[in-house]
Structure formats: C-alpha cells, structure tokens
C-alpha cells in the first residue's frame, strides 16, 4: 500500500478515536453500557436485538442505533417493541464510525444505568478497526456460516470479547462441527466468552442476559 494511503488511514483512525473517546466519556457519566454488535450480513443481529431489548426494557432504559447501507427496516423493527431507535444509513460506507454514533446520540434519550445497543453494518472486515465509544464489541456468528470464519476473519474475532453463536436451532439441519468452531474461535481469541443461542427457541438467552447484567455493573 502507498505511504500516502497508509498516512490517510492513520489520520482517519486517529480522528475517529478522538470522537470515540468523547462518546465513551459521555456515556460513562450516565453509567450507560454501550455494545457494538458486529457480524456478517444476515447473521440475525436484528432478530436477536428485538428479542433482547424486549426482555431488557422491563428493568433498564434501553435504546438502539442501527447501521445499514440503505433502508430504515431495522430501526422500524426495534421501534415496534416500544424501544427508541435511530437508523444510520452509511450509503457507500462499509462501517459505522464514532462521529455517526455521536450524532445519533443527540436523537436518543439519556440512558442512566441503561444499555445502548449499536448494530453495525453487516461486515466481518472493516468495522473491526473503528472504535465507536463502546465498552466492547459483541460478535454474532451464525452457525450457518461454517466453522472456519474465525480463522478467515481473525481481526474481527480478536476485537470482540463475546461471541454469540447464533441460529443454533438450525444445527440439526447443518453439517456444522461445533467442537471445531469453538477451537477456531479459541485459536484467534482465547479470552472470548462464547454463548450458543437461538432467537427462535430462546436457547442461550438467559446466559446472554446475565452477561449483559455483569457488564452493566462495570459501566
């Protein structure tokens, strides 16, 4: 890669990190937990979020920022649960950045001791490098995608502290080697927490909600 491109990339990341730090400070004043959900397109992030915020809203303030190249379909699905949501359309862009999140926060209520869910653009590459001011990234890895994705997209799997193995209800219909998938995750990120779950059957949701509560206690 040319030096000029590398320098520009560093400038962009430095600018992003500056805004992300500001977002993080702002959220900390309210003890708001912010999670940055990343995955391939079609891993089931929105269905997972609909189910998650429906459970969370009973005992914590919660809101969602939705990222997509186009459409406001996802924000509409979240709002149908009664939870506030802001849709960001990135157009040609392949990831959210901290400036977009900062602007979206102006359209959301404060969330004291609550949870802000940020659903990134479906992309296992580019969002890995962009801090949005979140406490941590949560990677949603659908079992339909095959066991080897952690090895092929190691940056993203290393950037996440929690991997949700999603769509586990489909396991009986797939040739998916769970032991190999777990080994692939461990190989690139030995410290990641891993929770198998299904938004269809509810399997794994108790563990996922417990994990969120543990993170809230630290926010």
Give the residue from 163, 219, 218, 212 showing the smallest Cα distance to 59: 212
Among 21, 28, 80, 125, binds a second copy (CB under 8 A): 125
Asked if 70 touches a second copy (CB under 8 A), the answer is: yes
Integer-rounded Cα radius of gyration of the chain: 17
How far is 101 from 98, CA to CA, in rounded Å?
5
Query: Minimum Å distance from CB 215 to a second copy?
Result: 26
Q: Which stretch binds a second copy (CB under 8 A): 55-63, 108-116, 146-154, 190-198?
A: 146-154
Best CA proximity match to 16, nearest among 139, 171, 126, 152: 126
Separation of alpha carbons 61 and 179, rounded Å: 37
CA–CA gap between residue 102 and residue 16 (Å, rounded):
11
Q: Is 178 in the site for a second copy (CB under 8 A)?
A: no
Site string for a second copy, 81-120 (x = CB under 8 A): -----------xxx--------------------------
The three-state secondary structure class of 74 is helix
Binding footprint of a second copy on the chain (CB under 8 A): 4-5, 8, 12, 40-42, 44, 68-71, 73, 92-94, 121-126, 129, 142, 144-146, 148-149, 151-155, 167, 170, 173-174
């Amino acid at each position: 890669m040319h030096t000029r491109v590398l320098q520009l990339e560093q400038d962009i990341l430095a600018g992003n990190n500056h805004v992300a730090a500001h977002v993080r400070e702002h959220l900390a004043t309210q003890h708001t937990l912010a999670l940055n959900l990343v995955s391939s397109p079609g891993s089931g992030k929105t269905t997972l979020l609909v189910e998650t915020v429906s459970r969370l809203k009973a005992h914590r303030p919660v809101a969602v920022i939705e990222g997509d190249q186009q459409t406001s379909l996802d924000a509409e699905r979240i709002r149908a649960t009664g939870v506030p949501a802001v849709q960001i359309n990135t157009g040609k862009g392949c990831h959210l950045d901290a400036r977009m999140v900062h602007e979206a926060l102006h359209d959301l209520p404060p969330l004291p001791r609550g949870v802000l869910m940020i659903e990134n653009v479906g992309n296992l590459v580019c969002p890995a490098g962009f801090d949005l001011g979140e406490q941590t990234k949560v990677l949603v890895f659908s079992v339909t995608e095959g066991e080897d994705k952690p090895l092929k997209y190691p940056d993203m799997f290393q950037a996440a502290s929690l991997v949700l193995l999603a769509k586990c209800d489909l396991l009986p219909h797939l040739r998916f080697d769970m032991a190999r998938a777990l080994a692939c995750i461990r190989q690139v990120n030995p410290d990641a927490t891993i929770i198998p779950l299904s938004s269809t059957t509810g399997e794994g949701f108790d563990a996922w909600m417990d994990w969120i509560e543990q993170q809230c206690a630290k926010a």
